[in-house]
Amino acid sequence: MKRLQPLGQKRLTCRLYNDPDAEAQPVDRVQGAGSAGDRGGRGVRIIFWATRFGKNTRGSLALKSALVLPAVLMMGAVGFDLIQVQASKNHLQDIANSAARAAADDHSAPSDANERARTHVESELGEWGKQAPTVEGLYEVVDVEGRSAIQVVLKGRRPSLFANLLPPGGWRFVARSSATIPSMAPEGQQSDHRAGRA
């Protein structure tokens, strides 16, 4: 009976070159386009080349530097920017605290407390210099537990990395502070200062 071979496969034959009259002998190796052995061989070759590529050190330093260096620089820039933002926020809070105290401790009319606080903030921002963020101030006399107090709210905005793209619109932070106006407080009671962070 004639032996059938699987479809898509072929049996290799070879002939000895020193004996042209010799009959071609079949070879045990069978190749097929879709055989499992062929697919397995491809997988082995892929793993082999991947391992070889990973162990290859020629030019790898430049390649790794090109991939890692931008990420490291980005992380460093973001970290430095966050430190600067926190420092600006703390400084702005100090300005709000001192402005509220300066406006409340003045012995002039309470109605002028807003203007005193505004003048103090503008003076402090002028001393801050070019590193100062853009500040929008809100000054008003409010009632705090039955007593009049000057409240100072400073909204700061600082540019962020990549033309304010990280985060979008730049960094925003708020400083709040309030202090009781002595002339409007009960006799013998000192000014009460309150500060808050946003």
pTM higher than 0.75 = no
Q: Does the residue 9 lie in any domain? A: no
Q: Tell whether 102 is covered by a domain.
A: yes
Question: What integer pLDDT is reported at residue 172 of this predicted model?
Answer: 94
Give the rounded percent of residues in the chain with a pLDDT score beyond 90.
Answer: 31
> What is the bridge-based pairing of β-strands 134-144 and 25-32?
unpaired
Assigned domain for 40 exists: no
**Residue at 169 is within a domain:** yes
**In whole angstroms, how far apart are CA 112 and each of 37, 95, 106, 139, 176?**
92, 19, 9, 11, 19
Mind listing the pLDDT tens digit for each residue in 129-180? Answer: 888 999 999 999 988 888 888 999 999 999 987 777 778 889 999 999 999 8
The reply to whether 31 falls in a domain is no
* H or E segment to which residue 156 belongs: strand 147-158
Range of the domain at 139: 71-197
How far apart (Å, rounded) are the C-alpha atoms in residues 120 and 135?
13
23 found inside a domain: no
Q: Would 13 be classed as within a structural domain?
A: no
Residue 3, in any domain of the structure:
no
HSE of 194, CA atoms in CB hemisphere, 13 A: 14
Please tell me the total count of domains within the chain.
1
Q: State how far the Cα of 136 lies from the Cα of 174, in Å rounded to an integer.
A: 10
Which parts of the chain register pLDDT below 50?
A: 8, 12, 14, 16-17, 27-34, 36, 185-191
